[in-house]
Structure 1
Amino acid sequence: MRAPNDCATMTELRAEIDRLDADLVRLLSERAAYIDRAARIKAGVDLPARIGSRVEEVVANVRGHAMTHGLPPDLVEKLWRRLIDWSIAREESHLGPDSLRDDSLRADNNDTETT
């Protein structure tokens, strides 16, 4: 692993970008495993796949992380909303058609919410 300023050529830069891309894909796969587990837990406690309050909490969190790391919060929000939509669709495929409702008011089990 080299710091960006330690890369003297485009080949070195591209190798580091490729390494980071592989890390990002691995992290997305790890996140997907947690989404799958969330779907199983939600099925057991009758929670819907989409819980609006949790979606907004996740978006607020990543916007904050973006600002901390010098990235445009709007860009990060767009990326995460797409990731969240994919995650919810993945949960819905495990939960079935009844999971399409947003039952935020009934979310007695907030500790089981995941997006």
Structure 2
Amino acid sequence: MAEDECFPNMADLRAEIDRIDAELVELLARRAGCIDRAIAIKRRISLPARIDSRVAEVLDRTRRAGAERGLEPAFVEGLWRNIIEWSIAREERALDGSGGRDDGR
């Protein structure tokens, strides 16, 4: 079946886009759950919220993955930078400014 036959009109295509959007939100929520688990681990082993080498690793991996799928690497990097910065801010708030140190705060 040709791609244009899968969604013969805008209503069907929009419904598919809405379904994909819902999946993306679900995946982001799952990722946030992983961030929450990372907070507990980072607190226990005294790691900071921001680990620059990990940020670079994630950005590099996602840029490559996006490029392999025909997405502009700069678009993918920008999107992931937002996700990463949101995640780091979430960790920093939860770590209460302790920088990952378990100092009783």
What CA distance in whole angstroms lies between the structure 2 residues aligned with 1:45 and 1:51?
A: 14
Structure 1 residues not aligned, in runs of 5+: 101-115
Name the TM-score, length of structure 1 as normaliser. Answer: 0.82
Q: CA RMSD in A?
A: 1.4
**Which one has the largest radius of gyration?**
2
Partner of 2:50: 50
Mapped contact 1:66–1:73 kept (Cα < 8 A) = yes
2:72 is the counterpart of 1:72: yes
* Aligned sequence identity (%): 52
Alignment of 1:1-115 (within 5 A): 4-5=3-4, 6-99=6-99
User: What stretches of structure 1 move > 3 A for 4+ residues in a row?
Assistant: none
Q: How many residues align?
A: 98
Unaligned runs of 5+ in 2: 101-105
TM-score (norm 2): 0.89
Query: Residue deviations 1:55-112, cap 9 Å, x none?
Result: 0000001001101110000000001001100000011111111228xxxxxxxxxxxx
